[in-house]
C-alpha cells in the first residue's frame, strides 16, 4: 500500500554496503537489477508500503559501496533494530544494511551531503591477482606513485572538471571542489587512490584515475596533467578506469 497522509511518518536514514558487480548501478531502472530496487523491495515487504529511497550517491554499474547513505519515509511503527534485521533477512548476500536510525523530518541523503569520499584500487604487480580480481584494476607495468600523487594534489580546490566528466550535454555546471586526496601504495602491490569532494560528475573519479595511470606510466608529466584538466576537453584525458576498482567509502554530513 502507499503511505497514507493521515499516518505519522518517520524519516529513516540508512547506511548500506554492497558489492556492485551484479547490479546496474544504484538507481532504479526499468527491468534492470539495481541496488535501489532490491532495497526498496525488501523494505516494502517488511513495512507493507511502497518505498522510495533517496540515495546520497548514484553509483554506476559495477561500482561498490562501503558506506552508501540513503533515507526513506515510512508509516511503519516497527522499531529500528527489528526493522534492520527484517530487511537484512530479505536482502541478497551482496547487499547489507549496516545502520538504520530515525533522522530529522527534513533530512535528505543527497541534498544534505557536504562531501563524499571515493576510493579507487589498482593492483600493480607483474602477476594478476586472484583474491583482489573483483575489487582492483590489474596493471602489471610499474607505476610511479610519487608522480601520481604529485599530479593528484594539483586537483585540490575548486575547478571545472569537464576534462574528467562524461559527455552529458544536460550537465550545465561541471565545477566541483576537491577537499582531500591521497595515494597510498602497500607492499602487496595495492595502490589506493582517495578523493573527497563536495560532489562528483559521472565517471569523474574513473576518468581521473585513468589519466593518473598515464602519469604513472610516464606518458604524462604532472604539468601536462594539470594543463589537460584546464583544457576542459574530455578527449585529451586518459581512458575511463574500469568500475570494479571503485568504492564509495563515506558520505559526510
What end-to-end distance do the CA atoms of the chain give, in Å? 32
Strand partners, 117: 196, 250
Q: What is the DSSP string of 192-231?
A: EEEEEES---TTHHHHHHHHHHHHHTTSS-HHHHHHHHHH
Q: Give the distance from CA 27 to its chain's centroid.
A: 12
The candidate with the shortest Cα–Cα distance to 165, out of 220, 119, 210, 222, is 210
Look up cell 560528475; give the residue. 201
Helix (H) or strand (E) segment spanning residue 87 = helix 80-90
Q: Which residues contact 81 (CB under 8 A, 6 or more apart)?
A: 100
Cell of 14: 540508512
What is the three-class DSSP state of 103? strand
Choice among 60, 146, 160, 227 that is catalytic:
60
User: Is 60 one of the annotated active-site residues of the chain?
Assistant: yes
The candidate with the shortest Cα–Cα distance to 43, out of 80, 93, 7, 17, is 80
CB 116 within 8 A of CB 57: yes
Residues with a catalytic annotation lie at 60
Amino acid at each position: 500500500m502507499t503511505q497514507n497522509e493521515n499516518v505519522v511518518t518517520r524519516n529513516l536514514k540508512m547506511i548500506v554496503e554492497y558489492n556492485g558487480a551484479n547490479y546496474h548501478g544504484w538507481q532504479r531502472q526499468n527491468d534492470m537489477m539495481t541496488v535501489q530496487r532490491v532495497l526498496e523491495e525488501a523494505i516494502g515487504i517488511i513495512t507493507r508500503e511502497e518505498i522510495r529511497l533517496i540515495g546520497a550517491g548514484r553509483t554506476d554499474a559495477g561500482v561498490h559501496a562501503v558506506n552508501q547513505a540513503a533515507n526513506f519515509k515510512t508509516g511503519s511503527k516497527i522499531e529500528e533494530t527489528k526493522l534492520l534485521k527484517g530487511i537484512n533477512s530479505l536482502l541478497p548476500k551482496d547487499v547489507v544494511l549496516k545502520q538504520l536510525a530515525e533522522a530529522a523530518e527534513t533530512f535528505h541523503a543527497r541534498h544534505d551531503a557536504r562531501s563524499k569520499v571515493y576510493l579507487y584500487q589498482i593492483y600493480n604487480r607483474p602477476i594478476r591477482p586472484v583474491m583482489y580480481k573483483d575489487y582492483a584494476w590489474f596493471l602489471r607495468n610499474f607505476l610511479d606513485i610519487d608522480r601520481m600523487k604529485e599530479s593528484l594534489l594539483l586537483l585540490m580546490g575548486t575547478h571545472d572538471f569537464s576534462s574528467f566528466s562524461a559527455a552529458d550535454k544536460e550537465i550545465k555546471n561541471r565545477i566541483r571542489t576537491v577537499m582531500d586526496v591521497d595515494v597510498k601504495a602497500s607492499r602487496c602491490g595495492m595502490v589506493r587512490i582517495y578523493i573527497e569532494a563536495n560532489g562528483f560528475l559521472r565517471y569523474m573519479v574513473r576518468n581521473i584515475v585513468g589519466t593518473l595511470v598515464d602519469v604513472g606510466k610516464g606518458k604524462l608529466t604532472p604539468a601536462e596533467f594539470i594543463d589537460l584538466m584546464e583544457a576542459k576537453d574530455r578527449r585529451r584525458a586518459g581512458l575511463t578506469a574500469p568500475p570494479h576498482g571503485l568504492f564509495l567509502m563515506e558520505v559526510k554530513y
